[in-house]
């Protein structure tokens, strides 16, 4: 995830169990593009012991293929094409989710990438631009291109991060496609994982915000699938996790105010699993001391923390 799941974050969550596969932040490919060094570092210095997939986003077939090929010179498990980003700066330029408005262009880009990529080629998509029924046509296109895997974030672009996730459409993809399908969207607990895997028949799950909110989630899911009762972290465990995230921001000598601002991004997600009061309070802090006082007030206890969104938002 952009500006979140960098090398340092990968290293941190690997210590909590981590996922089976890591995806980079996307490389935003435009004409003349050279892969950004900071993102490349996640691949070259991958500290997780697990495979890394390089994600690219853009619409220029020639430069997308060139970039994919140059990324394949590094230890990547696959090249993944992003067809889902709903940020206006991206989709208005017909990249990410914006490409879903033009299925013919998606078809051509997939053809070029499949031909140009020597190793595994995977796609991460939403269901369509504005209507989940658009997915029918996309499935026809995906099935023609010998993908190695498709991850489906089961919302349209215009639904952004809204309340509804159309897992029934992931089940349609599983039935229609000859390659593995992974389900994505609102998996926040091991209960969600079991429910979504059961409802979709997907081969696996991609977890985004749930991993920021609850880095224990991967271990919890593994335990649950192995028939063991998952452990929940305590408030103090969550406090220690927030402390570790704060330390990540210290490695490049950033001033305190910038570190607190960056932490607010993380606690915006983590706070959804704590309380509305915490979310309100943390928005108002400006110093490191205020930040940690607020965290301690909410988390300095030994009660178990499910860390799923408390009011259904997110």
Ligand X SMILES: Cc1cc2nc3c(=O)[nH]c(=O)nc-3n(C[C@H](O)[C@H](O)[C@H](O)COP(=O)(O)O)c2cc1C
Taking CB under 6 A as the binding criterion, the range among 33-41, 179-187, 229-237, 287-295 that sits at the site for ligand X is: 179-187
Whether residue 139 contacts residue 107, with contact meaning beta carbons closer than 8 Å, is answered with: no
**Alpha-carbon gap, residue 63 to 80, rounded angstroms:** 15
Is residue 25 close enough to count as binding ligand X by CB under 6 A?
yes
Q: Among 184, 189, 200, 214, which residue sits at the site for ligand X (rule: CB under 6 A)?
A: 184
Find the shortest distance in angstroms from Cβ 148 to ligand X: 16
Catalytic residue among 7, 52, 83, 85: 85
Site string for ligand X, 217-256 (x = CB under 6 A): ----------------------------------------
For the chain, the farthest-separated pair of C-alpha atoms sits apart, in whole angstroms, at 56
Q: Which ranges of 123-254 does DSSP label H, i.e. alpha helix?
A: 135-143, 167-176, 190-200, 209-213, 217-225, 235-248
Q: Among 207, 238, 263, 295, which residue sits at the site for ligand X (rule: CB under 6 A)?
A: 207
Determine whether 33 is exposed, middle or buried from the number of CB atoms within 10 Å of its CB (0-12, 13-18, 19+): middle
Q: Among 35, 58, 132, 208, which residue sits at the site for ligand X (rule: CB under 6 A)?
A: 208
Find the shortest distance in angstroms from Cβ 297 to ligand X: 26
Nearer to ligand X, 123 or 260 (CB): 123
Give the CA dihedral 48, 53, 56, 61, nearest 10 degrees: 150
Is residue 185 close enough to count as binding ligand X by CB under 6 A?
yes
Is residue 169 close enough to count as binding ligand X by CB under 6 A?
no
Structure-block tokens of residue 276: 């509305």
**Alpha-carbon gap, residue 249 to 264, rounded angstroms:** 12
Q: How many CB atoms lie within 10 A of CB 251?
A: 8
**Helix (H) / strand (E) containing 38:** helix 37-44
Site string for ligand X, 115-154 (x = CB under 6 A): ---------x----------------------------x-
Instruction: Report the Cα 147 to chain-centroid distance in Å.
Output: 20
Nearer to ligand X, 95 or 174 (CB): 95
What one-character DSSP code corresponds to residue 312? S
**Alpha-carbon gap, residue 223 to 193, rounded angstroms:** 11
Find the shortest distance in angstroms from Cβ 211 to ligand X: 7
Find the shortest distance in angstroms from Cβ 57 to ligand X: 7
Whether residue 97 contacts residue 104, with contact meaning beta carbons closer than 8 Å, is answered with: no
Is residue 82 close enough to count as binding ligand X by CB under 6 A?
yes
Length of the chain: 314
Taking CB under 6 A as the binding criterion, the range among 104-112, 203-211, 215-223, 297-305 that sits at the site for ligand X is: 203-211
**Alpha-carbon gap, residue 309 to 314, rounded angstroms:** 7
Find the shortest distance in angstroms from Cβ 82 to ligand X: 5
Q: Among 95, 209, 235, 285, which residue sits at the site for ligand X (rule: CB under 6 A)?
A: 209
Nearer to ligand X, 205 or 235 (CB): 205
Residue 295 falls in the annotated catalytic set: no
Q: Which residues bind ligand X (CB under 6 A)?
A: 1-2, 4, 25-26, 55, 82, 84, 124, 153, 184-187, 207-210
Which amino acids are annotated catalytic?
Answer: 85
């Amino acid at each position: 995830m952009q500006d979140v799941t960098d090398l340092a974050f990968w290293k941190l969550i690997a210590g909590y169990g981590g996922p089976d596969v890591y995806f980079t932040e996307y490389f935003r490919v435009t004409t003349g593009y050279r892969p950004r060094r900071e993102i490349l570092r996640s691949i070259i210095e991958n500290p997780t012991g697990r495979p890394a997939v390089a994600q690219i986003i853009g619409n220029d077939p020639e430069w997308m293929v060139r970039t994919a090929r140059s990324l394949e010179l590094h230890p990547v498990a696959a090249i993944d094409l992003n067809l889902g980003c709903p940020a206006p700066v991206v989709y208005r330029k017909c990249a990410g989710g914006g490409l879903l408005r033009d299925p013919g262009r998606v078809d051509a880009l997939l053809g070029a990438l499949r031909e140009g990529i020597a190793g595994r080629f995977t796609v991460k998509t939403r269901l369509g631009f504005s209507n989940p029924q658009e997915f029918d046509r996309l499935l026809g296109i995906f099935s023609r291109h010998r993908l190695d895997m498709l991850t489906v974030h089961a919302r349209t672009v215009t639904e952004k991060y809204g309340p509804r996730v159309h897992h029934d459409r992931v089940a349609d993809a599983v039935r229609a496609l000859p390659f593995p399908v992974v389900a994505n969207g609102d998996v926040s607990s091991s209960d969600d994982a079991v429910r979504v895997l059961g409802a979709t028949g997907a081969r696996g799950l991609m977890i985004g915000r749930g991993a920021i909110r609850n880095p224990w989630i991967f271990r919890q899911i593994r335990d649950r699938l192995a028939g063991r009762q998952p452990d929940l972290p305590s408030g103090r465990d969550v406090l220690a996790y927030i402390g570790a995230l704060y330390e990540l921001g210290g490695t490049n000598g950033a001033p305190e105010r910038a570190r607190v601002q960056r932490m607010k991004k993380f606690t915006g997600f983590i706070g959804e699993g704590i309380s509305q009061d915490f979310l309100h309070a943390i928005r108002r802090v400006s110093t490191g001391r205020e930040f940690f006082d607020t965290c301690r007030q909410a988390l300095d206890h030994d009660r178990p923390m499910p860390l799923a969104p408390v009011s259904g938002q997110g």
